[in-house]
């Protein structure tokens, strides 16, 4: 056999006998800024889910199925002074009117009847109409009278949102700090006349 041919054949067999090396493919790493964006998106999504869980299912105009508690959604003492003077202080950027009712069929629990998001062009007028003469204080009310209830949910740019409530039957109002009732029947009529209906 030709020595040169023998050498080539041996080299070929040696190459076949060599163990194959596993090829490792490195997973591409995301740039740091892209990783940060993904993390922020997941955080915002989680917060949105938590918010839905707290408020429950919403109905007309985004109103909760049952009334929210009066007051700021995040209590901050620096707003107590302004909240004590007006049911809806300042000029909110958004205003939602939620009307609730209850009866024996609902177990005397308030349930959403209607909801309306006030047009941004009308918010200032509606808020001004809500500022009727009031008398500080609260009084007891028969159960049947409490079954008509209106919530005003005011959204602010520079402050936590505020939930104010009006017990239609009792004539009492509150926003977590202010507790009052209408100074007169005329004041009561003027306030309800200022609230648009959906």
Q: Which residues pair with 153 in a beta bridge?
A: 96, 163
Task: Give per-residue pLDDT as tens, 162-189.
Answer: 999 998 888 899 999 999 999 999 999 9
Is the per-residue pLDDT at 129 higher than 90? yes
Q: Binning pLDDT at 50, 70 and 90, where does residue 198 land? A: low
Highest mean pLDDT pick, 30-34, 40-44, 74-78, 107-111: 107-111
- Greater model confidence, 19 or 24: 24
Q: What does the alpha-carbon distance between residue 83 and residue 69 come to, in Å, rounded to a whole number?
A: 15
Contact 73, 163 (CB under 8 A): yes
Please provide the DSSP assignment of 64-89 as one string: BSSPPPSEESS--GGGHHHHTT-SS-
Q: Binning pLDDT at 50, 70 and 90, where does residue 141 land? A: confident
Question: For residue 5, what pLDDT is reported?
Answer: 55
- Greater model confidence, 21 or 92: 92
Comparing C-alpha atoms, which of 67, 70, 72 is closest to residue 174?
70
Cα within 13 Å of Cα(156), Cβ side: 14
- Greater model confidence, 87 or 12: 87
Question: For residue 103, what pLDDT is reported?
Answer: 83
């Amino acid at each position: 056999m030709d020595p040169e041919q023998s050498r080539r054949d041996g080299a070929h067999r040696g190459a076949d006998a060599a163990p194959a090396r596993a090829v490792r493919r490195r997973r591409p790493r995301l740039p740091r800024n892209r990783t940060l964006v993904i993390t922020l998106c997941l955080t915002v999504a989680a917060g949105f889910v938590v918010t839905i869980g707290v408020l429950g299912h919403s109905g007309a105009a985004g109103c909760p199925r049952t009334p929210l508690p009066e007051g700021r959604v995040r209590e901050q003492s620096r707003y107590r002074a302004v909240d004590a003077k007006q049911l809806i202080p300042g000029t909110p950027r958004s205003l939602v009117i939620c009307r609730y009712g209850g009866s024996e069929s609902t177990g005397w629990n308030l349930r959403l009847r209607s909801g309306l998001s006030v047009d941004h062009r009308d918010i200032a007028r509606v808020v001004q109409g809500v500022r009727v003469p009031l008398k500080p204080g609260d009084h007891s009310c028969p159960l049947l009278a409490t079954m008509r209830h209106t919530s005003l949910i005011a959204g602010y740019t520079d402050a936590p949102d505020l939930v104010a409530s009006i017990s239609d039957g009792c004539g009492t109002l509150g926003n977590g700090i202010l507790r009052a009732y209408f100074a007169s029947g005329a004041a009561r009529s003027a306030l309800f006349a200022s609230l648009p209906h959906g």
